[in-house]
Structure 1
Amino acid sequence: MFTKVDGPVRLADRVASMLADEIESGRLTTGDKLPTEVELVKQLGVSRTVIREAVSRLSNAGLVEARQGRGVFVLPRRTRPLDLEADTTDTKAKVLQIVEVRRAMEGEAAELAATRATAADHARMRQALAAIDAAVAAGGDGADEDLAFHRSIAESTGNAVLVSTVRYLGEVSRGGIRVTRANEARRGDFFDAVREEHHAILAAIEQGNAKAARTAARRHLKHAAARLQKAGPEFWNTAQDLGVELDAAE
């Protein structure tokens, strides 16, 4: 079904793109089951790590769904996620546009969370912040954990539409968030500032101060944009490749 994939970099991206093409072309349709992990390893000539990462990206994009004990199945088509390489807008402009959208959405979510979040919600937010620190300490970029923190805020509002919107925004903007996190990881002062901003959002929510929570969330995204503006050409020239795992022997 597939041909072997070779090349030193971006293998997970290339495998994900190949599988997405099968779905977009209609060769794999809604309800079809993807070949097993073992079959894909044999057909494509890459490691299981690459296959898992590629399938994870398809799942995050809403193209497939893993069903426990049954396999991975193609989902009905929906709006495709933003692609940092798919259109003519340069990477920097797209990432900054993502930050603008997040500022509007997450400011509102934080404001509502301050008036609705329970003690259990507060605990989940604190766990999410701890997970960011743990991911970074382990050498990761913390992008998924960062998304989980902001998602936990939305979930505490009890607004199902807001939760779905924030989740979808996270899916389509994952690449941009990963670029943002990579930029912040370049400098200790950036990383410390992000951590302080996250904790300021949580503190305002825990205090039940809706205005302060909204302000803290919007300030966080405003500062994120400012930090991105400080990144030089060398960073932006390689931004499309950030956060992509290479093939690894198991």
Structure 2
Amino acid sequence: MTGESPQFLRTTHLPTRIAEQFTQQIQSGGLKAGDRLPTELAMSKNFGVSRTVIREAIARLRNEGMIETRQGVGAFVIDRPARHIRLEDGGLSAEDFRGLFQLRVPLEIEAAGLAAQNHTAEHLQQMDQALLRMETAGDGANDGIIADLDFHRTIALATGNDYFVQFLGAISDRVLKTILLSREKIRLDTLISMVNREHSALRNAIASGDPLKARQAMRAHMVGSTERVELKLDFYR
């Protein structure tokens, strides 16, 4: 994990660059709350990339809390507080991955506990939709990656605490890289089965309303995530 393959860079670089362009427009006031982004087709032609790349860029903007998507309508800029957190893009060395998980583990575990207490039926429905998309994602289907990010973002939303949404959104592009790296190391159908089993257990634990059970399920998922990218990390009870 000391470097990135050319494919790894190609997979992450274009969506990041496109998302950053829209972020700059939003932060400068060129795009205001309520403004609708161009259609996927229009953006695909404008940037000269596939619609899959555009969907990943939109997913990043959504995870960062910049936009919201309305099914069948489009993507719209939403009003965000000035304190919104954003990290500069960059490569991830082995030590960067370790630092990422040292931050992510306690955040995600606490988020799961709060989500068990504060979730709504709509949050559970959104988790179920994300799980279904991950289960049906075949070889090369990037929607499975986006669905994975959406699943975790829904948990953050279910906490009822916007700081979790902001912090986890800020590292979403790094989390994306860990998902891509695990896909390089593990056969895809095996990986999907492992992750969906952990996600299903996590969803059910949150639905049970038991914070301790939800925290344990998230901890198990984080352990699995670190093992899949061959990262040795100490977990403390």
Please tell me the TM-score bracket, short chain as reference.
0.5 to 0.7
Q: What are structure 2's unaligned runs of at least 5 residues? A: 1-8, 32-37, 233-237
C-alpha separation in 2, matches of 1:126 and 1:50: 22
Cα shift at 1:198: 0.8
Instruction: Call closer, same or farther: CA 1:47–1:77 in 2, change over 3 Å.
Output: farther
**Alignment RMSD:** 4.5
**Structure 2 residue corresponding to 1:115, chosen from 108, 114, 117:** 117
Partner in structure 1 of residue 13 of structure 2: 13
Partner in structure 2 of residue 106 of structure 1: 108
CA contact (8 A) 1:59 1:65 kept: yes
Cα shift at 1:229: 1.5
Q: Which has the larger radius of gyration?
A: 1
Amino acid at match of 2:13: D
Q: How many pairs does the alignment contain?
A: 210
Instruction: Call closer, same or farther: CA 1:11–1:94 in 2, change over 3 Å.
Output: closer
Matched, 1:84 2:90: yes
Amino acid at match of 1:204: A
Q: What are structure 1's unaligned runs of at least 5 residues? A: 1-8, 232-250
Instruction: Call closer, same or farther: CA 1:80–1:113 in 2, change over 3 Å.
Output: closer
Amino acid at match of 2:117: T
Instruction: Call closer, same or farther: CA 1:78–1:230 in 2, change over 3 Å.
Output: closer
Query: What's the CA shift string for 1:67-97, capped at 9, x where partnerless?
Result: 999x989x97965324233xxxx43322332
Structure 2 counterparts to residues 136-215 of structure 1, below 5 A: 136=138, 139-140=141-142, 142-157=144-159, 159=160, 162=161, 164-185=162-183, 186-187=186-187, 188-215=189-216
C-alpha separation in 2, matches of 1:54 and 1:129: 18
C-alpha separation in 2, matches of 1:16 and 1:150: 19
C-alpha separation in 1, matches of 2:101 and 2:60: 23
* RCO comparison, higher one (Cα < 8 Å, 6+): 1
Q: TM-score, normalised by structure 2?
A: 0.63
C-alpha separation in 2, matches of 1:178 and 1:166: 17
Partner in structure 2 of residue 236 of structure 1: none
Partner in structure 2 of residue 93 of structure 1: 95
CA contact (8 A) 2:116 2:209 kept: yes
CA contact (8 A) 1:99 1:224 kept: no
Q: TM-score, normalised by structure 1?
A: 0.61
C-alpha separation in 1, matches of 2:23 and 2:208: 47
